[in-house]
Amino acid sequence: MGIELLTDILIIFSLSVVVLYICHRLNIPTIVGFLISGLLAGPHGLGLIGAVNEVEILAEVGVVLLLFTIGIELSFAKLLEIRKSVLMGGSIQVLLTILVTFVVAGQLGYGLGVSIFLGFLISLSSTAIVLKLIQERAEVNSPYGRTTLGILIFQDVIIVAMILATPLLSSAKAIQGESLIALLFKGIGVILLVIVSARWIVPRVLYQIAKTRNREVFLLSIFVICLAVAWAASSAGFSLSIGAFLAGLIISESEYGHEALSKVLPFRDVFTSFFFISIGMLLNIGFLFEQSMLVLLIAFGVLVIKSIIAGLAAILLGLPLRTSILVGLALCQVGEFSFILSETGIEHGILDENSYQMFLAVSVLTMLVTPFIILFAPRLADTILRLPIPNKLRLGFSPVLETNVKAEKDHLIIIGFGLNGRNIARAARAAGIPYVIIEINPDTVKSERAKGEPIYYGDATGETILKHANIKDARVVVSVINDHVANRRIVELVRRLNPKAYLVSRTRYVNEVKPLYELGADEVVPEEFETSIEIFTRVLEKYLIPTDNIEALIAEVRSDGYKMFRSFPTETSSTSDLKIQLPNIKISTLSVPENSALVGKSLAKSQLRRKFGILVLAIRRNSQIISNPDRNTQICAEDELIVLGAPDKISELERLIINPK
């Protein structure tokens, strides 16, 4: 059996490498690739795997490690930092999805417990897929990215409550009575164990282990804590997944949480791959083809219903319609934690084989189409916004929409009030330039307006808010938002509403520069490129490249349309590295004491160059720098001479200064 399992693991990984490579070329998430690998290798596919049960055991280890790392990342401190709006959005999305699914399932003839459980399954979205796609598109810090991430975090936390509630939905168990009371007391006991362990036991144990500076001992200790808490939770009647999640929370409260996470992540990735592959192996391709129309219909219904509900949750948070549409489309799929929850449902007899296969088929299908939905979401949102929609819905229901900021003329409009927007506003305020700000985050608008900032709430991709900011009389417009699709829309709209305004747009990537120029931007500042300019400028300064050569290179690169670096002028190459070209030259600082023979002498009379071959580059005197001093500059006590010369000559001069004869 050992050889058979090893053969199956070799087959799984080999097939996964090929499938994942193809998925990477097609820009399809890794999880989808694992599902396809399992589908191909499983008993319902090509039948390449024989030790199915052993693979499922490895998959269970992957689930434990997955929940363990989620617990480490979602520390108590981070959970407390989740804003009220995010909690409200997450709870609205989850509860409404459960309610709608419950009603639909009830109409289809499912019982009470099964209907609620199906609501649990459908309400969860894929954190792994959505977060990866948002990160790749550099939209994590955009309004829709932050809202989507917040709801996903809420789902990752609520899965724990769902797992705990699943046994109560089983028809084989009583929903009230002794079982409920026993579960309540066990839950209280587990919570107390977590608190005591997180506050007093685990930090002290890990401190003693960390003192050994032995990586193997530390890693094994982390696994022992994870498995011990998982075993204790399982003994109390909870699942291993719940125990692993609680173990992660315990470790997250110590200062060793990040180190523990870095040690466990490689193991988690390997074993989690088995989990997703095992899910693909369980999907019956025959069932999929037999029920293809029904699967497609249900999958389409799930995508539509979840998009509407998640979008509605964002609207109730006060976000504009466009942002809400993007949030809804990002959360339309069924997530990986639903697979974990479904295993619990099968264990307690809530799902039968037919329902389970339907759930698997629908879930895998929704995950497969998610990358394409997120890709085309901005275009769909812009198409919907062209419809005759009330401005109140288009701009959002935030109570900070109305403002008494006076209309300016010949002013600066700043779109986006993150770090860049704040710095621009600070500079404009210092220079006495009139400005107004447009920001889509209602919390930011509320807090900044209380500080007296001239800030409007709204989505700058719509004409109304730009007209409200008196766009037609603005002299300069600066867009510094993170959503590159919305940024294009803003550039196009501003240029149409005010052709004379000087329009500056910030973008994250160089490949966005040309499209923004074509849409009418006067200046486009690519963040990654300006960062590279700042970095190479500082590097060249350390190598003592002349300032005029550096500035010429910067000007050449920028004027060349941000094409990457050309070679340096040949005449500067000889000074690009003094340590290589002039190995016997050293720059040093020498302090001149009061009793030094140099005190009161001019540089010419000190004869430093003639006697020692040393050049005085600058003198630091009373915190002031005298750069390039002439021959008549007098040396005073407590001066600091910045000199250039041979190391041995500098040492000889230093001895003379300190011990004058």
Shared-domain flag, residues 499 and 635 = no
Residue 181 lies in a domain: yes
Q: How far apart are CA 66 and CA 130, in angstroms?
A: 17
Q: What is the pLDDT of residues 125-161, one digit of tens each?
A: 987 788 777 867 767 767 788 788 788 878 877 887 8
Cβ atoms 270, 220 nearer than 8 A: no
Neighbour count for residue 583 (Cβ, 10 Å): 10
**SS3 state of residue 523:** strand
Q: Quote the pLDDT of residue 325.
A: 92
- For the cut 80, the answer to whether the pLDDT of residue 171 exceeds it is no
On whether both 505 and 438 belong to a single domain, the answer is yes
Determine the Cα–Cα distance for residues 244 and 250; give it in Å rounded to an integer: 10
Residue 124's pLDDT band (cuts 50, 70, 90): very high
Question: How many independent structural domains does the chain possess?
Answer: 3
Query: What count of residues does the chain have?
Result: 661
Task: Identify the band that residue 329 occupies on the pLDDT scale cut at 50, 70 and 90.
Answer: very high
Paired tokens of 9: 């693991």
Report how far apart, in Å, the C-alpha atoms of 583 and of each of 358, 378, 545, 570, 654 are. Answer: 74, 58, 16, 20, 20
Distances (CA, A) of 98 to 93, 294, 309, 348: 9, 21, 10, 19
Q: What is the mean pLDDT of the chain?
A: 81
Instruction: Give 575-621 pLDDT, tens digit per residue.
Output: 444 444 555 677 888 888 888 888 888 888 888 888 888 888 889 88
Q: How confident is the model at residue 183 (pLDDT cuts 50, 70, 90)?
A: low
Which of the listed residues 356, 383, 410 is the one where a domain comes to its end? Answer: 383
Q: For residue 466, what are the domain limits?
A: 398-529
Lowest mean pLDDT among 394-398, 564-568, 615-619, 645-649: 564-568
Q: What is the pLDDT of residue 92?
A: 92
Predicted local confidence at residue 406, as pLDDT: 57
Asked if the structure places residue 567 within a domain, the reply is no
Joined tokens for residue 201? 């036991």
Beta strands 615-621 and 586-591, pairing class = unpaired
The β-bridge relationship of strands 624-627 and 615-621 is: antiparallel
> Does 422 lie in the same domain as 296?
no
Which residues, in sequence order, are CB contacts of 163 under 8 Å at separation 6+? Answer: 238, 239, 241, 242, 340, 341, 344
Query: Which ranges constitute the DSSP H helices of 396-526?
Result: 419-431, 442-450, 463-468, 484-497, 513-519
- Whether 508 is in a domain gets the answer yes
Least confident piece of the model among 171-180, 203-212, 223-232, 632-641 = 171-180
The answer to whether residue 563 scores a pLDDT higher than 70 is no
CA–CA separation, 383 vs 439, rounded Å?
23
Give the three-class secondary structure for 412: strand
Question: Same structural domain for residues 407 and 375?
Answer: no
Most confident of 296-310, 384-398, 447-461, 545-559: 296-310
Asked if the structure places residue 618 within a domain, the reply is yes
Judge if 293 and 403 occupy the same domain.
Answer: no
In a domain, 240, yes or no: yes
| Per-residue pLDDT band at 659 (split at 50, 70, 90) | low
Q: How far apart are CA 174 and CA 439, in angstroms?
A: 52
Measured CA distances, 213 to 250, 260, 549 (Å): 21, 13, 48
**Does residue 491 fall inside a structural domain?**
yes
Q: Is residue 66 located within the same domain as residue 140? A: yes
Residues 375 and 245 occupy one common structural domain: yes
Q: Counting Cβ atoms within 10 Å, is residue 634 exposed (0-12), middle (13-18) or buried (19+)?
A: middle
Helix (H, G, I), strand (E, B) or coil at 661: coil
Phi and psi dihedrals of 311, rounded to 5?
Answer: -65, -40
- Domain holding 495: CATH number? 3.40.50.720
- For residues 458 and 344, state if they share a domain: no
Lowest-confidence range among 47-61, 198-212, 462-476? 47-61
DSSP calls for 629-653:
--TTPBP-TT-EEEEEE-HHHHHHH
Residue 53 reports pLDDT greater than 50: yes
pLDDT of residue 83: 62
Task: Please report the pLDDT score of residue 300 as a whole number.
Answer: 94
Is pLDDT at 180 greater than 50 in this prediction?
A: yes
Is the confidence at residue 529, as pLDDT, over 50? yes
Handedness of CA 387, 390, 396, 397 (dihedral sign): negative
- Residue 553 placed within a domain: no
Among 35-49, 52-66, 207-221, whose mean pLDDT is lowest?
52-66
Q: What is the pLDDT of residue 573?
A: 44
CATH number of the domain at 19, please: 1.20.1530.20
pLDDT of residue 255: 78
C-alpha 55/C-alpha 49 separation (Å) is 9
Question: Which of 487, 514, 529 marks a domain boundary?
Answer: 529
Alpha helices (H) in 174-291, listed in sequence order: 178-196, 202-211, 215-235, 240-252, 257-282, 285-290
**Alpha-carbon dihedral sign for residues 342, 343, 349, 354:** positive
Query: Which pairs from 440-449 meet CB under 8 Å and 24+ separation?
Result: 440/143, 440/319, 440/320, 440/323, 441/143, 441/417, 442/318, 442/319, 442/396, 442/398, 442/399, 442/400, 443/83, 443/85, 444/417, 445/398, 445/400, 446/400, 448/417, 449/400, 449/403
| Distance between CA atoms of residues 482 and 477, nearest Å | 16
Among candidate residues 288, 323, 339, the one with its CA nearest the CA of residue 481: 323
Instruction: Express each pLDDT in 616-648 by its tens digit.
Output: 888 988 878 888 888 888 999 888 888 888 888
Same domain, 145 and 270: yes
Give the Å distances, CA to CA, from 592 to 157, 530, 600, 630.
65, 42, 11, 18
Q: What is the pLDDT of residues 65-92, one digit of tens each?
A: 777 877 777 655 555 555 666 788 899 9
Are 658 and 593 in contact by the 8 Å Cβ rule? The answer is yes
Residue 558 parent element (H or E) = helix 547-559
Mean pLDDT of 312-332: 90
Q: Which two tokens stand for residue 168?
A: 């109560």
Residues 361 and 212 in one domain: yes
The reported pLDDT for the residue numbered 104 is 93
Q: Are 350 and 113 in contact (CB under 8 A)?
A: yes
Q: Same domain, yes or no, for 479 and 373?
A: no
Residues near 521 by Cβ (< 8 Å), separated by ≥ 6? Answer: 491, 495, 503, 504, 505
pLDDT digits (tens, 9 = 90+) for 99-111: 999 999 999 888 8
pLDDT of residue 398: 60
Q: What percent of the chain has pLDDT over 70?
A: 87
391 inside domain: no
